[in-house]
Structure 1
Amino acid sequence: MPYRKLVEAGYEPVIANPNGDMPVMDANSNNKLFFGGDDAARAEALKYAQGIAQLKHPKTLASVVSEGTGGYVGLFIPGGHAPMADLLKDRNLGKILVSFHDSGRPTGIICHGPIVLLSTLHDPDAFVASMAANDGKANSFAAGWPYAGYRMTVFSTGEEQQLEGPNGLGGNVQFYPVNALAEAGAHVDTVANWHSNVIVDRELITGQQPMSAPEFGDVLVAKLKARRN
């Protein structure tokens, strides 16, 4: 788990979300599939997460914006399907991301998480609505995107399609993250389903899915240490 690697490396994570409430775990994430089929590893990770006291009382993203991000050395955004519902349009998160982008501070995002980079668009609501409508106009809302031209990865379309339907999500996503990020102007690279893939471009570190978590955590920690030195 990247969070654990950050703690073990001596960093003190500060947890924040839109409402400052205790996050509810996506039931689809509590699956041994994402731990290489190892149910003991899944149970151990769940126990660790349940022991993170900060998860019960996160800060709000608005408060982080108000206080400023100067005291933070890096940013880590996890995945799951939740970012597809709210964070990709959250203006406060967009401001936080831009502050890290402009200062070149490490920004690590994994799984579905990279979709939140859309929150830095001038009008993320219009972009997302256009993607959902599949009207071919989304690119017209992408001018000036801070991450245009960046290489990155995200949960692949093939992986998404394996989880769609009544036995997984209970339905289909409105659009695939790979397509949305590419439409905004990113160079998105994915590998075979459920294989580790971590891409670093400037300050941005992205991981494709949970199988990438160990490598992703190591790369993020190394990036933070390199900047400190």
Structure 2
Amino acid sequence: MSKGKVLFIGSNATRIEVQGGWGATGQYLNETVVPAMAVIAAGYEVVLATPDGTKPHIDPVSDAVQHFEGDAAAYDRAKAFWANDPAMNQVRTLRSVIDEGLDQYLGVFFPGGQAPVADLMQNEDVGEILRHFHDRAKPTALLCHGPIAIAAAMPRARAFRAALIAGDHGKAADLAKDWPYAGYRMTVFSKTEEKVVEDHILHAKMYFDMPTALHAAGGRVETTATDFEPNVVVDRELITGQNPRSDHPIAARFVEALDRRLATA
């Protein structure tokens, strides 16, 4: 018998604005399946939802054994889980999940890849979901680029994102007033880590980096001195992981938070 439901929120984005055009994007395989498998192994039921109710697109760059520390068996298990497990294939729309009631969910998790920068951070349904979990102090975990999705909890998230793209950080800060996560400690994919992606994968520059965006919103952003070292920051109900290699650590902290929540429910 399941201990309870946990919501996983995926992106439907397949491309992202870059300076001079568009780049291909998606959700990272390991950042999705490693936490999902850990949550299921701990006895919880995972419900995957996206804005339009279709399965997220996996960024091909993440579909590689290197993102599983070179462990071919772990990579094969992850691929099979993503392809075949009902939790990854019975995808709901965000709106249907909201309409059926968010009270039934103990926690929420957002994987990364750059895709959340394109859609989730400005999605009104994401904002409604986040405010529900924040108001009730339910575990809210976000990994790599995923933490940018918490911008959706502000009243004018779409305008906030547009100000960032325009390079007007002062306007962005004004638009972020009354953001529920202002003053929270958090981490996210760092500016120097992003440069690696820009130089070697996108071959173009992003319009804004994640730490600058969350700092403009009022977050207390902490990133590691060494790129791609695992890093997880916990502040109240918010659990954030910095990069793809933070997949196992954030999964463990998220499960611990779910267990604590269940014990006090």
Normalised TM-score (structure 1)? 0.94
How much does 1:90 deviate?
0.5
1:58-137 mapped onto 2 (5 Å cutoff): 58-136=91-169, 137=171
After the TM superposition, which of the residue ranges 46-55 and 4-13 deviates more from structure 2?
46-55
Aligned residue runs from structure 1 range 2-81, under 5 A: 2-38=35-71, 40-81=73-114
Q: Which position in structure 1 is the counterpart of 2:191?
A: 157
Residue 33 to residue 206, structure 1, CA distance change in 2 (3 Å): same
| Cα pair 1:23 1:55 within 8 Å, conserved | no
Aligned to 2:3: none
Length, aligned pairs only: 228
| Aligned-partner Cα distance in 2 for 1:30–1:9 | 25
Structure 1 residue 215: Cα displacement: 1.1
CA distance, structure 2, for counterparts of residue 122 and residue 39 of structure 1: 44
Aligned position for 2:261: 227
Secondary structure, in 3 states, of the residue corresponding to 1:20?
coil
What do residues 150-182 of structure 1 show as CA deviations (whole Å, max 9, x unaligned)? 0000111111111113x3124222211111001
- 2:81 & 2:206 partners in 1: Cα distance? 29
- How far residue 207 of structure 1 moved from its aligned partner, in angstroms, is 0.6
| Identity, % of aligned positions | 42
SS at match of 2:54: coil
1:161-176 mapped onto 2 (5 Å cutoff): 161-165=195-199, 167-176=200-209
Spell out, residue by residue over 1:58-106, the C-alpha distance to the aligned partner (whole angstroms, 9 max, x if none): 1100111212200011111111111011000000010001000000111
Structure-1 separation of matches of 2:107 and 2:74: 27
For 1:120, give the aligned amino acid: A
What code does the residue aligned with 1:101 have?
Answer: H
**1-side partners of 2:76 and 2:223: how far apart?**
28
> Does the CA contact (< 8 Å) of 1:75 and 1:106 recur in 2?
yes
Contact 1:112–1:154 under 8 Å retained in 2: yes
| More strand by percentage | 2
Q: Would the aligned equivalents of 2:81 and 2:88 in 1 still touch at CA under 8 Å? A: no
Contact kept, 8 Å, 2:144 with 2:242, in 1: the verdict is yes
Given the superposition, is the C-alpha separation of residues 76 and 124 from structure 1 closer, same or farther in structure 2, using an over 3 Å criterion? same
Q: How many Å separate the matches in 2 of 1:146 and 1:118?
A: 9
Give the aligned partner of residue 204 of structure 1.
238
* Residue in structure 2 matched with residue 146 of structure 1 by the alignment: 180
Letter matched to residue 150 of structure 1: Y
Give the Cα–Cα distance (whole angstroms) in 2 for the partners of residues 225 and 93 of structure 1: 24
Structure 2 distance, partners of 1:102, 1:156, is 28
